Chain A
Amino acid sequence: QQQVKQSPQSLIVQKGGISIINCAYENTAFDYFPWYQQFPGKGPALLIAIRPDVSEKKEGRFTISFNKSAKQFSLHIMDSQPGDSATYFCAASREDSSYKLIFGSGTRLLVRP
């Protein structure tokens, strides 16, 4: 019940295309769903986050879509750029044990010029 399952494991997209990464969770008590971006040799950096009372959140080229009934959420990167090439992690946490994030296994995104 604590797992967050992420897919695909890797993704190759042409410059200007849309990158889509999906995550699924089991624990309905989760109430915070962030996405992190990690470049080689760096720690994860918060990209965008959503709470379950909202179905979509957009920040620039990045959009989170959230489907509470399906217990799924996804990250969409519009107009993907080579600089977006990185590993992306979804995560989830719950307020009553809010000290920890449960991370997905990551998606390695390569955006080709």
Chain B
Amino acid sequence: DAGVTQSPTHLIKTRGQQVTLRCSPISGHKSVSWYQQVLGQGPQFIFQYYEKEERGRGNFPDRFSARQFPNYSSELNVNALLLGDSALYLCASSLWTGSYGYTFGSGTRLTVV
């Protein structure tokens, strides 16, 4: 069975640009969560979506947005990129809403220059 797949794996963007990251959950999983992991730190929660509805949002500015599609895949968008947005962006899927039974993808490494 395929795990959580994220694309692209690596990305380099310039300050002020916009970026879209993609996530495909494990088949049958209806919930997708996004986390930001800055180098040397633990992941920080950004969003959770369940059945295409936002169920939770972390302490991130409005430059961060996300959505979930009918096939349960998800996109994370970040506008007006800052140097501090450089991080590993992780997607996690689970059967239901909540943090139990998360399976993380390998992430997208975003570098803002």
Contacts and interface: CB of A to CB of B under 8 A. Distances in A.
Q: Do A and B truly interact?
A: yes
Contacts of B4: 43
Interface string A100-113: 11111110000000
Given A32-B99, A43-B106, A45-B104, A99 B42 contact: no
A43 B48 contact: no
Interface residues of A, number: 23
A100 B42 contact: no
A42 B106 contact: yes
> Secondary structure at chain B's binding surface: helix, strand, loop or mixed?
loop
Interface residues on B, range: 20 to 34
A99 B99 contact: yes
Contacts, number: 64
Interface in B61-113: 90, 92, 97-107
Interface of B: 4, 33, 40-45, 48, 50, 55-56, 58, 90, 92, 97-107
A65 to B, nearest CB: 20
Interface string A73-103: 0000000000000000101010001111111
A102 B107 CA distance: 18
A50 to B, nearest CB: 12
